[in-house]
């Protein structure tokens, strides 16, 4: 209604024009319409506003005035239908300019929706409708049709203008809600206690363990199965012996994650640990970063405002833009993670239409940007290539640069500046073990060295798993935290999935892999714990013994050199011919070993540009190629980030009823993202589980495990 009234005010010059025409005063009508429109435009200009329809109206009256000066009789006789035709042309022209004329007015009524695709589509439809109606009215008047014809044309247009936007917005939001999931089916029934468990979880990565923890905490019977000897997937640590000066020494290395986001009050990790009552089980220490560029070293301060000012001083022409960008990212970050209140820190979009309608007002920055490319946000404020290189410095935590990520995917990375990244004392596996402890304390079971051979499907629904040794475990639902593509190509038979899904799965590429060099060295380097060489080889150096000295003997350090390997290059590390598990023999070949050693040497040489003489300090070395990651994690092409963005599932529900996905196949990569994926998998099976109060009994004792 507000938009309709705003348009009515704009049409006042035409009302005066029509009234004077009806009284046989065409000259006065044209002059009055022009004068009123000109006055309206002067007022708009004083407010720095430009409304397309009003500019067009001024042109219409100016054209009629010119026509009247040349042919007063003909112009006066046809002025009515000519003005209507002009309005129709202006309305349709606004569509060609990609600025629907109604959007200028509805923007005031729906300011929080004004920059969304839905807003544009709705206004394009309304502007086009009025363009057609104006032309229809012009034709009716030109042909001398009875008055009721014009009334019949106007009534539906007015009704759609009044009620259409809200109805269209509700319809668009309803479609958005439905589009969050690729597949739709009702949650399973857990009322009876038949079967070996309520939910079987394939894979003890962080996504699977998080899903199991939420479900076990709510009283559901869960069993987790994993082929590895350690829980956590990539999130585990392991000891390695070496000899130094004739004596045995021990280093502790992390298999993957070393810089955890979400470790703050209200954050994802702390929210989960607090829900499980085990937040005091882990000591977290802040991880500081450093970026090494050809222009020098940048050590971000722990206060993000200070960091933005530091970058502004380094790139003075972009100083204002850098600060504005960080302020906008901080606002988006707060909007995104404030949705985790009451959900154990798990952020999420509203689940109801009413909440969706309120979301733009409550979270304007998040609503505007979350679904849009992060590159677009950055380009709004900063264009300097040097500044951009540093702004994107942490993007390697998510991808190898071959994909365009949305703000929803990239903004959480800036939590390292807003809230800090942290490392668990004792190794990354402490987090995984804490989740296992919580699951077992609630009656669940985590079975290691127990691979799953097959996910069982009956009558179109997952109903359990068959283990590698042949044992069948019946369940009412299954969570797969296994490799996304292998879940459906190997664990679920093709006959249980639609052809379109199988085709899309076959076309999807895995995300990047990595090559890492684990080093135990006999000195303590002068670097930050998370150092990034962002020129040349683009190598990350994780030195977690600088945060937790227990990872190395006194006077020694551990260094993890990390380089991402795009999928097309990762595939070249596997046998050139053949399939299946041919790489198991290939990894012992002389050709493979020679290439692996050479690649590791290159990375050490790159690290020596920052750490001169590094090679002379090496006491222990172990290299890991994409084949290594495929070997230990059973991942497609050794992917460390799951499938590429194009291959991920929308929502947790798979095409097989009662089978949900956790891990990199849904939300994305990184520990925090896969925790969210596990939480959403639990939510898909038990709607409302995240909003429930913690289910563990007060004072319940939790067992203590020794870190592996």
Three-class SS of 490-545: HHCCHHHCCHHHHHHHHHCCECCEEEEEEEEECCCCCCCCEEEECCCCCEEEECHH
Q: Is residue 302 pLDDT above 90, yes or no?
A: yes
Residue 540 φ/ψ region, left for φ over 0, alpha for ψ in the -120 to 50 degree band, beta for the rest: beta
pLDDT at 332: 94
Cβ(630)–Cβ(583) under 8 Å?
Answer: yes
Reading the block at residue 203, the tokens are: 């894979």
DSSP 488: I
Burial of 624 (0-12, 13-18, 19+ CB in 10 A): buried
Q: Is residue 433 pLDDT above 60, yes or no?
A: yes
Burial of 658 (0-12, 13-18, 19+ CB in 10 A): buried
The span from the CA of 296 to the CA of 315, in Å, is 13
Q: pLDDT digits over 402-429, tens only? A: 778 889 889 999 999 999 999 999 999 9
Q: pLDDT digits over 190-248, tens only? A: 988 888 999 999 999 999 999 999 999 999 999 999 999 999 999 999 999 999 999 99
- Model confidence at 161, pLDDT cuts 50, 70, 90, reads low
Reading the block at residue 470, the tokens are: 């042949």
176: how many CB neighbours lie within 10 A of its CB?
15
Q: pLDDT digits over 233-286, tens only? A: 999 999 999 999 999 999 999 998 999 999 999 899 999 999 999 999 999 999
Q: pLDDT digits over 618-658, tens only? A: 999 999 999 999 888 888 888 988 887 777 888 889 999 99
What percentage of the chain has pLDDT greater than the value 90? 57
Which CA distances in Å does 536 have to 533, 563, 602, 605? 8, 11, 12, 12
Q: Which residue has the tokens 């303590």?
A: 524
Q: pLDDT digits over 117-150, tens only? A: 667 777 887 888 888 888 998 998 888 888 777 7
pTM for this model (two decimals): 0.79
C-alpha distance across the termini of the chain, in Å: 66
The span from the CA of 84 to the CA of 673, in Å, is 55
Q: pLDDT digits over 668-708, tens only? A: 788 999 999 999 999 999 999 998 888 733 334 444 333 33
Q: pLDDT digits over 601-628, tens only? A: 999 999 999 999 999 999 999 999 999 9
Cβ(29)–Cβ(20) under 8 Å?
Answer: yes
State CA 191 to chain mean position distance. Answer: 34
């Amino acid at each position: 209604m507000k938009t309709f009234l705003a348009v009515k005010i704009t049409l006042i010059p035409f009302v005066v024009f029509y009234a004077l025409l009806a009284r046989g005063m065409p000259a006065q009508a044209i002059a009055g319409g022009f004068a009123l429109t000109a006055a309206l435009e002067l007022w708009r200009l004083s407010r720095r506003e430009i409304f397309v329809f009003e500019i067009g109206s001024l042109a219409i009256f100016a054209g009629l005035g010119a026509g009247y000066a040349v042919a007063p009789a003909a112009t006066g006789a046809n002025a009515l239908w000519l003005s209507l035709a002009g309005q129709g042309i202006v309305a349709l022209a606004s569509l060609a300019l990609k600025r629907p004329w109604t959007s200028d007015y509805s923007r005031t009524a729906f300011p929080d929706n004004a920059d969304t695709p839905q807003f544009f589509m709705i206004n394009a439809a309304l502007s086009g409708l009025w363009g057609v109606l104006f032309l229809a009215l012009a034709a009716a008047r030109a042909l001398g049709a009875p008055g009721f014809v014009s009334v019949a044309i106007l009534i539906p247009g007015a009704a759609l203008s009044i009620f259409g936007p809200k109805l269209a917005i509700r319809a668009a939001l309803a479609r958005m809600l439905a589009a969050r999931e690729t597949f739709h089916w009702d949650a399973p029934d857990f009322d009876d206690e038949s079967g070996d468990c309520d939910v079987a979880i394939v894979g003890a990565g962080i996504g699977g363990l998080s899903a199991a923890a939420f479900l076990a905490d709510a009283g559901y019977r869960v069993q987790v199965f994993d082929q590895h000897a350690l829980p956590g997937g990539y999130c585990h640590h392991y000891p390695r012996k070496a000899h130094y000066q004739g004596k045995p020494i021990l280093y502790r290395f992390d298999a993957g994650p070393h810089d955890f986001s979400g470790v703050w009050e209200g954050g994802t990790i702390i929210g989960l640990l607090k829900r499980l009552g085990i937040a005091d089980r882990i000591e977290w220490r802040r991880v500081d970063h450093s970026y090494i560029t050809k222009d020098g070293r940048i050590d971000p301060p722990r206060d993000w405002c200070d960091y933005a000012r530091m970058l502004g001083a380094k790139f003075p022409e972009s100083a204002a833009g850098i600060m504005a960008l960080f302020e906008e990212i901080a606002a988006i970050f707060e909007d995104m993670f404030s949705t985790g209140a009451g959900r154990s820190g798990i952020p999420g979009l509203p689940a109801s239409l009413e909440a969706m309608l309120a979301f733009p007002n409550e979270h304007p920055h998040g609503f505007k940007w979350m679904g849009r490319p992060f590159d677009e946000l950055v380009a709004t404020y900063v264009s300097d290539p040097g500044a951009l290189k540093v702004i994107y410095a942490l993007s390697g935590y998510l991808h190898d640069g071959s994909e365009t990520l949305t703000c929803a995917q990239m903004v959480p990375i800036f939590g390292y500046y807003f809230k800090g990244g942290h490392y668990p004392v004792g190794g990354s596996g402490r987090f995984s073990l804490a989740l296992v402890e919580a699951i077992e304390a609630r009656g669940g079971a985590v079975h290691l060295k127990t691979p799953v051979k097959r996910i069982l499907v009956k009558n179109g629904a997952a109903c359990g798993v068959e283990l590698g040794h042949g044992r069948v475990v019946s369940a009412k639902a299954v969570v797969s935290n296994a490799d996304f593509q292998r879940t459906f190509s190997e664990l679920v038979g093709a006959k249980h999935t639609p052809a379109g899904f199988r085709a899309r799965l076959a076309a999807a590429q895995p995300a990047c892999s990595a090559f890492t060099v684990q080093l135990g060295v006999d000195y303590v380097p002068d670097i930050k714990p998370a150092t990034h060489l962002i020129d040349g080889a683009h190598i990350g150096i994780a030195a977690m013994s600088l945060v937790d000295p227990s990872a190395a003997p006194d006077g020694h350090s551990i260094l993890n050199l990390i380089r991402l390997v795009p999928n097309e290059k990762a595939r070249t590390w596997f046998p050139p011919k053949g399939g299946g598990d041919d790489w198991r023999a290939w990894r012992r070949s002389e050709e493979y070993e020679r290439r692996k050693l050479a690649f590791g040497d290159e990375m050490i040489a790159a690290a020596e540009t920052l750490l001169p003489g590094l090679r002379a300090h090496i006491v222990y070395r172990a290299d890991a190629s994409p084949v290594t990651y495929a070997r230990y994690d059973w991942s497609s092409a050794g992917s460390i980030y799951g499938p590429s963005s194009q291959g991920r599932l929308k929502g947790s529900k798979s095409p097989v009823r009662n089978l949900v996905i956790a891990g990199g196949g849904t939300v994305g990569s990184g520990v925090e993202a896969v925790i969210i994926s596990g939480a959403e998998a639990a939510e898909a099976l038990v709607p409302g589980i995240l909003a429930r109060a913690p289910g563990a009994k007060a004072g319940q004792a939790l067992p203590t495990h020794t870190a592996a």
